[in-house]
Structure formats: structure tokens, C-alpha cells
């Protein structure tokens, strides 16, 4: 994904467009070199993507089929997570990419870990990402109450405990 972002940065620069955003998920981990896992999109939570950037992202991907991405590769899919993030999360964001026209930040480590642990418990497919983040036991325990609040289902606590136990086992705890 880092190659896509670099090329998109050059593309936006050629159009005299600038864009700053907060990215989460697999794309953030890839940009930070935490994982090399292939991801098909870039999930942005802030700001809502302006029309001219959305249009440019579609034009860009149409002229770069080698990246094998859908036209909505740059999206605000998880934007609703903002309402659930811990207080003052914006103060903990960190810059992960600065190009000519694009500046990308992501959540601070504790907040990013919370979102990945929630995704692990919710979707069950984020185990490799969580392992690559190498959370400490303290970090896992600090994140647990937030993850447990993520779903009102009576089955949720058992699911969370099951997935967290699997992660701890993989990490050797």
C-alpha cells in the first residue's frame, strides 16, 4: 500500500491538490512497515474525504490498474469508530507519511491496538496484524475494557476472551 500512497501523492501533486487524513487498519500498519500484508483499501476516519480528492482517487486508480484496487480504495468506511474512540484520541495521533501533497497520520499505539483487537474479535481475521503489533500483556489488559464495550451481545465477552486468549498464546504469554 505504501507504493500506492507514494504514487497517489505524485498524482495529487500534479493536480495541485493537497490532502491530510487519519488512516487506520491494515493500510496504516502497512505504511508503518508493521506488516507487509496486502490490503485492498485505505480506511480513513478523519476527515470525510472531499469530493475533489474522491474524484482524483477514482481517476488515479483507473489509470493505475497495476495496483488492482477497486474504485473505492480510498474510503471513510470506518468513520463511525470516531464516536467510540477513547477521549482525547486526536492528541495521540502520529504522522506516518508525508509526501508532496499527502500527509497521513494514524491513531496512537494504544488506540490503534484497541481498534485492531476489536477487529480481531469482531471479524476474526486480524490475528496476524495483532501479532505483528507485538502488544505487551499490559497493553492487552489496558485495551480489554474498551474492546468489551464494543458489542452489546451477550456472546461478545466470551468471543473477546476466546480471541484474546488465542492472541496471547500466539505471542507466547
Tell me: the pLDDT tens digits for 20-57? 999 999 999 999 999 988 889 999 999 999 999 999 99
Domain ranges of the chain: 2-107, 110-171
Query: What is the per-residue pLDDT for 124?
Result: 86
Beta bridge partners of 74: 42
Q: How many residues does the chain have?
A: 173
Is 83 within 8 Å of 20 (Cβ atoms)? no
**Secondary structure (3-state) at 20:** strand
Sign of the C-alpha dihedral, residues 5, 55, 68, 119? positive
Query: What is the per-residue pLDDT for 3?
Result: 94
- The whole-angstrom separation of Cα 106 and Cα 113 is 11
Per-residue cell: 113: 491496538
Amino acid at each position: 500500500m505504501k507504493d500506492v500512497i507514494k504514487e497517489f501523492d505524485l498524482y495529487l501533486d500534479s493536480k495541485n491538490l493537497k490532502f491530510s487524513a487519519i488512516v487506520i487498519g491494515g493500510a496504516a500498519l502497512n505504511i508503518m512497515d508493521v506488516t507487509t500484508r496486502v490490503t485492498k483499501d485505505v480506511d480513513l476516519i478523519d476527515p470525510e474525504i472531499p469530493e475533489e480528492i474522491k474524484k482524483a482517487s477514482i481517476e488515479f486508480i483507473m489509470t493505475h490498474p497495476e495496483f488492482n484496487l477497486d474504485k473505492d480504495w480510498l474510503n471513510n468506511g470506518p468513520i463511525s469508530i470516531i464516536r467510540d474512540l477513547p477521549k482525547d484520541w486526536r492528541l495521540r495521533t502520529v504522522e506516518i507519511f508525508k509526501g508532496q501533497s499527502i500527509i497521513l497520520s494514524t491513531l496512537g499505539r494504544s488506540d490503534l491496538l484497541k481498534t485492531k483487537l476489536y477487529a480481531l474479535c469482531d471479524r476474526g481475521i486480524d490475528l496476524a496484524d495483532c501479532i505483528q503489533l507485538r502488544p505487551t500483556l499490559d497493553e492487552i489488559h489496558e485495551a480489554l475494557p474498551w474492546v468489551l464495550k464494543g458489542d452489546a451481545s451477550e456472546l461478545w465477552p466470551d468471543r473477546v476472551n476466546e480471541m484474546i486468549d488465542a492472541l496471547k498464546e500466539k505471542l507466547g504469554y
